[in-house]
Amino acid sequence: MILPIVAYGDPVLKKKGKEITKEYPNFNDLLDNMFETMYNACGVGLAAPQIGLPIRLFLVDTTPFSEDEDLTDEEQNTLKGFKRVFINAKITKEEGDAWAFNEGCLSIPDVREDVFRQPKITIEYVDENFKSHTETFEGLIARVIQHEYDHIEGVLFTDKLSSLKKRLIKGRLTNISKGKIQVDYRMRFPDQKKKR
């Protein structure tokens, strides 16, 4: 089932997510629905707050990035089929010189800005079977994980922009929260006026 994606301005996007256990109600259905919702919107990641749940859960599938012809074969192969579920994740280390990448977000349609992040991360998490992992990721995979991880910490990429950039996009963000935007997937807008 495709779930509506929560738009910029909804307070759930500002909440720090809570840890979950195996007993979380209808967990397998939730995962299926989140993957379906992410693929339907052509996203490479989706975090639970984006569907209205303030819990520490996000998904990543970087396959769409593997089609970028500027990448080496090796980079393409790494990105292709990188599909993971991250539960109760904790980034324990970020390393290297910050690099810029033009990020977007399914909750903030049509806004794309360069965001600086460190290139290498170490993350502890449990997978969909609640098995524990500690792994290191680099490059675009690390980038997507960092973006989704921010969601479960209540942080959006627009929070990381300079105050000048924030001022420049303020009007567009207000329009998004009011639903004054064309978008080809299902969304829920916090400040949309009820139609009579």
**Minimum separation from the CB atom of position 17 to Zn ion (A):** 13
Closest contact distance (angstroms) between CB of 74 and Zn ion is 27
Judged by beta carbon, residue 20 or residue 41, the one nearer Zn ion is 41
Quote the strand ranges of 38-82, DSSP E: 45-47, 57-61
Rule CB under 5 A: is residue 30 a binding residue for Zn ion? no
- What is the 8-class DSSP label of residue 157? G
For position 161 contacting Zn ion by CB under 5 A, the verdict is no
7 is a contact residue toward Zn ion (CB under 5 A): no
Residue 142 phi/psi, 5° resolution?
-60, -40
Strand partners, 168: none
Closest CA to 45 of 143, 117, 113, 139: 143
Q: Please classify residue 5 by burial: count the beta carbons closer than 10 Å to its beta carbon, then call 0-12 exposed, 13-18 middle and 19+ buried.
A: buried
Our finding on whether 46 is near Zn ion (CB under 5 A) is no
Residue nearest to Zn ion (CB): 105
Closest approach of Zn ion to the CB of residue 66, in Å: 20
Instruction: Encode burial over 16-39: b for 16+ CB neighbours within 10 A, e otherwise.
Output: ebeebeeeeeebeebeeebeebbe
Determine which residue in the list 89, 105, 111, 144 makes contact with Zn ion, applying CB under 5 A. 105
Minimum CB separation of residue 58 from Zn ion in Å reads 9
The 3-state DSSP class for residue 53 equals coil
Q: Give the residue with the Cβ less far from Zn ion, 76 or 173.
A: 173
Binding-site residues, please?
A: 105, 147, 151
With binding defined as CB under 5 A, does residue 176 bind Zn ion?
Answer: no
The stretch near Zn ion (CB under 5 A) out of 86-94, 105-113, 134-142, 181-189 is 105-113
- Other CB atoms within a 10 A radius of the CB of residue 71 amount to 16
Rule CB under 5 A: is residue 89 a binding residue for Zn ion?
no
- Residues annotated as catalytic are 148
- Considering beta carbons, is residue 6 or 87 the nearer one to Zn ion? 6
Cβ closest to Zn ion, residue 59 vs residue 79: 59
Residue 51: closest CA among 112, 130, 106: 106
In the complex, which residues of this chain contact Zn ion (CB under 5 A)? 105
